[in-house]
Amino acid sequence: MDNLSRKQRSERMSLVRSADTGPEMVVRRMVHGMGFRYRLHARDLPGVPDLVFPRLRKIIFVHGCFWHQHPGCGRLPKSRQDFWMRKLSQNRERDMKNQRKLRSIGWRILIVWECQLKRASLPTRLLRFLES
């Protein structure tokens, strides 16, 4: 059972952002600090990637573990489980479809999961991806 009323839940969910999220800002600062410049949220590409490096033909997506169901990390809410299972499953399917489209038109993709932001190896991983 949800602890919030329908109106309260709606207000809370309306605060969830799709762009300029905290995890995305962390990755953007890291990449910018490494000297790379990028486009943000390219609406002309499938999936509206978070960071786009046109000259390099590379893309970075910063995924929240809950919304994109990171294996072993994402969890389900206790209420309305059929709704959430369907919604989150559709998110994963859409992500995979967009990644296939991007790869088919020549883009290389890196996914950074929210839980990976605290790892000391993240800057190395980003640099390796962008320089390869």
* pLDDT (tens digit per residue) in 65-89: 998 999 888 678 888 889 889 999 9
What are the residue boundaries of the structural domains of the chain, listed by start?
Answer: 6-131
Tens digit of each residue's pLDDT (9 = 90 or more) over 94-126: 999 999 999 999 999 999 999 999 999 999 999
Question: pTM for this structure?
Answer: 0.85
Give counts: helices (H), strands (E), the chain.
4, 4
Tens digit of each residue's pLDDT (9 = 90 or more) over 19-69: 778 899 999 999 999 999 999 999 999 999 999 999 999 999 999 999 899
For residue 76, give the 3-state DSSP assignment: coil
Task: Please name the fold of domain 6-131.
Answer: Endonuclease; Chain A (3.40.960)
Q: Compute the distance between CA of residue 47 and CA of residue 49 in angstroms, rounded to an integer.
A: 6
